[in-house]
Structure 1
Amino acid sequence: MTASITRIREGKARIRESAAELYLKSEQLLRFRIAFALIGLVLSVCISTFAGEEFEFFSTAYIVGGVSFYSFVALLALGKLRHSPSRLKFFNAVLITLDVLALTGLVHYTRGLESDLYVLYLLPVLLSSYTFGRRGIYLSAMFVTVSYIGLLTSENAELLPYIFSKHSSTGLAAAYTGRLWLRILGRAFFFSSVAMLWAGFCDYMSRVARQGAERLYEQLDANEKLVHETDERAKRERLINFINKAVRSTLELDKVFKAAVMQLSTAVRSDLVAIIYQDSQDSALPTVVQRLHVTEEEKAQGKPSSLKNIDAEICRFILEHKGAYERDEKTGTKTKTFVFIDVLKDPLFAPISSQLVESGYKTLMIQPMMYGDFSKGVVLLADTSADRKFDQSEIVLIKVVAGQVAVAIEHASLVRELSQKNEVLLEKNLNLDSKNSELKTIQSQLIHQEKMASLGRLVAGIAHELNNPINFVHGNLPYLKQYVDELKGVVAEIDKLPEEDRRPVDELKNKLKYDFLVTDLDNIIADLNEGSERIRHIIKNLKSFSRLDEAELKEASVTEGIDSTLKILSQYYGRDKIPVNSNLAELNLPQVLCYPGQLNQVWMNLLSNAAQAMSDVSAPHLDVIGTLEADAVLVQIRDCGAGINTEIQSKIFDPFFTTKPVGQGTGLGLSICHSIIERHGGQIWLTSQTTPGPDRGTSFFVRVPLVAKRADAEKSRDSFSRD
């Protein structure tokens, strides 16, 4: 039976007055008593607060505490009576008795007879209807009535002697005695009537509940078949959903086949369930995934199934002859499922009769797995019984499973084909990405090269325009000094004349302040010489920096290139700016075979970046350290800026990578530097320290070979020119 049917039978058992049901009701009533007692204790505290000494709080609290105590004890002892209905009934009878006694005391100490609290006596009757039948309900009502009358009598006990007094028939005693009797009898009759009516109502409601339970029991019996069918349908839906999930979650057909076979063997009772699949790319025997039925005895003993797996020859025969739907030529109908009872008598299976006899299977159901008009294999169910019949629900289920597995096979085939095409496309994309990256690098280098070339041409033009006039000025300064000296000589000769003869000249000299003019004129000529020399030196630096368009390798000085670049960057470096500590002049480095303009471009980028990195440093300084190696010159440019984080150091030479704000950098400078140094056969790298301290900052190292391989350098130059 299924789990749903089991639950239905358990529901029937709970409806009946069983020990388990009585135990649960008893437990619920005990919890109700505990809750009621706790609420009563809270109410007692509240009433005592407002009523004062008129309310007997401690007596009431003792009673409420007693109810809580015996309820807790009963709750602990209830577990030992779980399987004994008779003891449980006696147990509940004792509890009802204790409840009545507790309520009697509670009504007494709270003066409930004078108020409406005596209605609490009806509570035990209600509780008894929960665990007892009709007899128990009325017995509880009678017990409650007797308790009430006893309490009423005991509270008026001091007045009862007047009833039996010899003077009870005369005077005030006679009048009071009659009223006392009427009061006791009236209240007793009223309460007994209410108690019996309440008992009748509780009995009626209890019988209504039992009748409803019986009707529910009948309805459950009537719906048992429907529930069983629904359960089978749900099982089929779960199987289909499971296979759909397996199809979506994996592309491995073996896992899909195993999941389908396992679930199908659970849903359909058959000795063998198999999926036979012929891979179109494999000419060998078909793939067979099968599962044998294991009996309960074999499961208990831990033994494998005594049945045999289907033979591969049988599987191939089934695929060849019943692997697809068959159409009736006369009617045009398609046969989609093939069921063979006692297959040994069917002439179709005569070629493999010996294999079938050996396997022991006599009934076969074959369901082709079709995707459109193409067969993907078959689902095979085999049974050793010759009269095994498959009902319609089983056939529908197997058809659905076959369709889902066919979809999985087609899906895997399409994914495999798509994967192969993706691999080819990925390879082409990788080549394309490489070309795109190369093109982007070339474009970036071309842009930067054009910018630097334009700058070089501009600088060269300015230097040329300045060079002619400054040469004219510089060339005439010696003649100017010579002429001035000759004039001074003439004046000196005049000073040798007699005083009377030179008096007009002396007056003119005093008037013109000759001595001051001569001294100041010498200073002016000296300043002009110094200024012209400085302008000539600046023009020389500009010419050195502008050597970007030189198309041939030349020997050039690294020291001169760096010095000229520092002078170009005079807005950063120099007097009252960033001091530069350099040892290049002391080393007397030899010249290197290079493209000077390109190397100047490297120094320009590195030195300008260093200056910008130290813009927020209070005491900046730059170190330029040269080292002469065996076959190269190593230059270290070290700043004292914030440093470069380790996470981005590997990207620092990538094209378009920059740490500067948007609009303040293109990310091309260091990429161009890296490309230029590599084309010279050298290396460029960096080290950086971000931890505050004396070593904080970034050092760029540039190694330039003394003599580059001319062929490689020319090739690089040609490539760079084409870029």
Structure 2
Amino acid sequence: MLPVTTAWLSSLDPLSEVPADQLQWLIDNSEHRLLAAGEFVVKPGEVIAGTHVFRQGRMVLYSVQEGLRRDFSTVLPGEITGYLPYSRAHFASMYGEITEDAQIMSLPRERIRDLITHNFELTQALVHVMTNRVRDFSVLMQQNEKMLALGKLSAGLAHELNNPAAAILRDAMTLRQHLKLVPDRFKEVMSIHMEPEDVDAVSDLFFPMIAERKHQQLTLTQRMKEEERLTDWMEERNVDNATDIAETLVEFGICQEDLDRLDRHIPRTFSSSMFNWLHANLVTEKMVEDIAESSNRIANLVSSVKVFTHMDRDQGKTMTDIHPGIRNTLVIMGFKIRKFKIEVIENFGADVPQISIMPGEMNQVWTNLIDNALDAMEVNGKGTLTITTRRDRAYVEVTVADNGPGIPREIQSRIFDPFFTTKEMGKGTGMGLETVQKIIRQHHGTIKMHTSPEGTAFVVCLPVQG
């Protein structure tokens, strides 16, 4: 074991100004230990036993998040870690694993009071170590929280984009196959002999059916019954592909009465050719409509992401309507909302004015509050997310409420503490609500929490003029 002397301690930057007698007190009141690689100084949830000065070896501090190990820092010889004077941390939030055989000098936690009472300069030096550590660790954890949030949003956005993108690909391939049949349909149509007035009548009747498409709300039984009715009608007239045609006609809301009107102007000899040509037009229209709808969904998602991140905007405060930011957050988190079977209720006040905020920062608030609410309701397999906005004189109040099981009484006072989380290991860093509170304070606002076994509500109050 290497010697730990006052001269060696004085060579350490944080302790260089500490009197020798106080350094000797630290040596005399500490435990001197040897730890082998693979041993743990501390694990999540354990009480932080004391102040540790590393004489040799090294230790890695890490957490396990989303099933993955995330390293935060490495403690090297000459560095000080563990519990420090005036620290509010009682329990460890991560693993401290020895990765290289180490010699540690540890001042037991119960001697900290004597340290503070009798060793002013040593206490001052260790407090300085603590403030530096908190600052550096906060930056790391905040960055980690942002990366976790980005990962969640990216996963949800990928799911949201996947459905319309797959639909476009599927419809494009189907449309290509469908268009290969056009030459055959063309020959059939060119062989049709109809009077000019009948051609005009069919045109005047058919194309408005496409433009004025009826969206019928039919049950499966009603739909099948209507398809059978139209199939029988066409089979009586020897129309090929009657079943396929009937399915498309029902989707467009075309009924037997519509077919009867068309039929009066179509010679029976050409019924099959004519109705297959009409069907081809309907199928083409449907696929083009589906492609347009899917493309519009993608465009809306991209627009939502742009507004959510507030790209191409000044990051200062600006008079902003808060509702688009909340709605865009819901759009981006749509996959998680559907996955957890959550009903979303928007009680947005009509008289809520624009307020002076940093939109990108406030979108982080909505994301954290909504994401926490969704996670709270996951255990129920379903739930209701209610977002309410209202004006309260010179303030705007936003309430994000869930009907989950609520927050246990014994931890309610700690939910805004840095690094504290109610989620299981790997699902959160404990920086979400702390970040929310910090952003709201920057906007001169307040946030309150109301919870019970029937659910939890976070109430954000922001001044109109910031």
Query: TM-score when scaled to structure 2?
Result: 0.47
Q: Between the two structures, name the one with larger relative contact order (CA 8 Å, sep ≥ 6).
A: 2
Compare the two structures and name the one with the higher helix fraction: 1
Query: TM-score when scaled to structure 1?
Result: 0.32
